[in-house]
Amino acid sequence: MAKQQVGWRVVLQKRWLLALLVLLSISTAIALIIRAAYDSCDPHFEVVDKRFELGPPVSVAPNPLSFMKSKLVLLVSHELSLSGGPLLLMELAFLLRSVGAEVCWITNQKPSGTDEVIYSLEHKMLDRGVQVFYAKGQEAMDTALKADLVVLNTAVAGKWLDAVLKENVPRVLPKVLWWIHEMRGHYFKMEYVKHLPLVAGAMIDSHITAEYWKNRTQERLRIKMPETYVVHLGNSKELMEVAENSVAKRVLREHIRESLGVRNEDLLFAIINSVSRGKGQDLFLRSFHESLLLIQEQKLHVPSMHAVVVGSDMTAQTKFESELRNFVILKKMQDRVHFVNKTLTVAPYLAAIDVLVQNSQARGECFGRITIEAMAFQLPVLGTAAGGTTEIVVNGSTGLLHPVGKEGVTPLAKNIVKLATHVQKRLTMGKRGYERVKERFLERHMAQRIATVLGEVLQKAKSHPET
């Protein structure tokens, strides 16, 4: 028995080494990302599951979405790409397919010829039995009229209503559920959201974003939000499987640390977001520098500290990217700050670091999925007290919050020092974060919440005379 387990470990380790090497090569990354994100039938994980799970298989539990069986659902996406919005809608598509719903997908964006990403995403959906239509054809119109439910994804998808349905818009609105994931000002345009008051419901990722939408639509546009449901997101099963696989985590950790040139005992603070002023990498680096000074001044004994900025795009050559690098050179932190290109496979980095920094500025994140992903990896989170982060991170328990803006630089620096010097506190916060994820931020929790919303929306649509 013991021998067999050791055998498995070797096999697992080899698989992970291989997977990692492939993951890190850009050319094949996309295919793998999609696989990693959506395949639930990886035999490797089944073996792991059997070893650790003694309870009944998950499929025995009643699926909260089972009432959607044989319902016709039309999903309208503003684009098809590897960004958060479309990927979430795809997750919904697969959840619905798994209970036997008939699911159709349309993308309301000009087809860009031979885009590899679009091609592979479309095929991924076709493989799972999701039908993919042209957004402007008769088929889209007929499906919209026949459907039990139409889900518009993000505010921008609202343009599709008038453009395609024309005089039929009023017939479709009572069965529309509008899923909104953003809160930047330019989304509050009449052109996008004028039909919002008449749809069956809006579904928004955090309470604070829902409140913000209510305020803005009322004050700026003088329209009223429909019935609004807050649905916090959940971690995919695939992410949880990596997060809970200690062998995989260790292998990924070793490899990422090796690639960055940091030792196993060094302390890594990472910010994982596309690099832009709104995500606050500049302020994070200032905090990091300040924390190094504090440690020096107070002669504290801590392991060698590093900052990792995942999400760079040097090809873009933006002023902001140069500013970050110049700051690092100016403060002579080149050996302590590491820039990593944009990637969709965040799991290896989450396995490799010690603390996640979520430094989104202004109104913060609408939700901030990376936060719950990091917590799944038992990482404490140092986050801004703004947006969805405040609904995910429990200040003082699963992480520490600091104010947005320049006022937050010193508090964040102090929090960095706190977690660097209090090892036990750091580890406990990570564990509590993981427990919080297990309690409320898993895919099944999200499915449960979505099921409640879909149930109500269907009920409302049925009772409406127009449909």
- Choose among 239, 279, 194, 220: nearest CA to 45: 239
In the complex with ligand NAG, the residue whose CB is nearer, 137 or 396, is 396
What is the full DSSP assignment across 103-152? EEEEE-S---SS-HHHHHHHHHHHHTT-EEEETTSHHHHHHHHH-SEEEE
CB contact set of 339 (below 8 Å; sequence gap of 6+): 309, 312, 314, 324, 325
Distance CA 169, CA 165 (A): 5
Q: Shortest approach of ligand NAG to residue 255 CB, angstroms?
A: 13
Query: Please, are residues 461 and 149 in contact by the beta-carbon 8 Å criterion?
Result: yes
- Say whether residue 168 binds ligand NAG (CB under 6 A): no
**Residues 381-440 interacting with ligand NAG (rule: CB under 6 A):** 385, 395-396, 401
Kindly tell me which of 244 and 313 has the beta carbon lying closer to ligand NAG.
313
* Candidate ranges 54-62, 171-179, 206-214, 449-457; the one touching ligand NAG (CB under 6 A): 206-214
Least distance in angstroms from the C-beta of 339 to ligand NAG: 8
- Please name which of 149, 22, 1 lies closest in space to residue 76, comparing C-alpha atoms: 149
Q: How far is the CB of 27 from ligand NAG (least distance, A)?
A: 12
Q: How far is the CB of 432 from ligand NAG (least distance, A)?
A: 14
- In the set 211, 227, 323, 435, which binds ligand NAG (CB under 6 A)? 211
**CA-based torsion, 311, 312, 315, 318: positive or negative:** positive
Q: Which is nearer to ligand NAG, 48 or 268 (CB)?
A: 268
* Segment interacting with ligand NAG (CB under 6 A) among 1-9, 149-157, 174-182, 211-219: 211-219
Q: Is 381 exposed, middle or buried (0-12, 13-18, 19+ CB in 10 A)?
A: buried
CB of 59 to ligand NAG, least distance (A): 40
For position 212 contacting ligand NAG by CB under 6 A, the verdict is: yes
What whole-number distance in Å separates Cα of residue 28 and Cα of residue 82?
14
Least CB distance from residue 459 to ligand NAG, whole Å? Answer: 29
Q: Does 187 bind ligand NAG (CB under 6 A)?
A: no
* Interface with ligand NAG in residues 296-325 (CB under 6 A): 314-315
Query: Can you spell out the DSSP letters for 452-466?
Result: HHHHHHHHHHHT-TT
Q: Is 370 helix (H, G, I), strand (E, B) or coil?
A: helix
**Residues 322 to 381 in contact with ligand NAG, rule: CB under 6 A:** 341
Query: By the criterion CB under 6 A, which residues form the site for ligand NAG?
Result: 208, 211-212, 215, 314-315, 341, 385, 395-396, 401
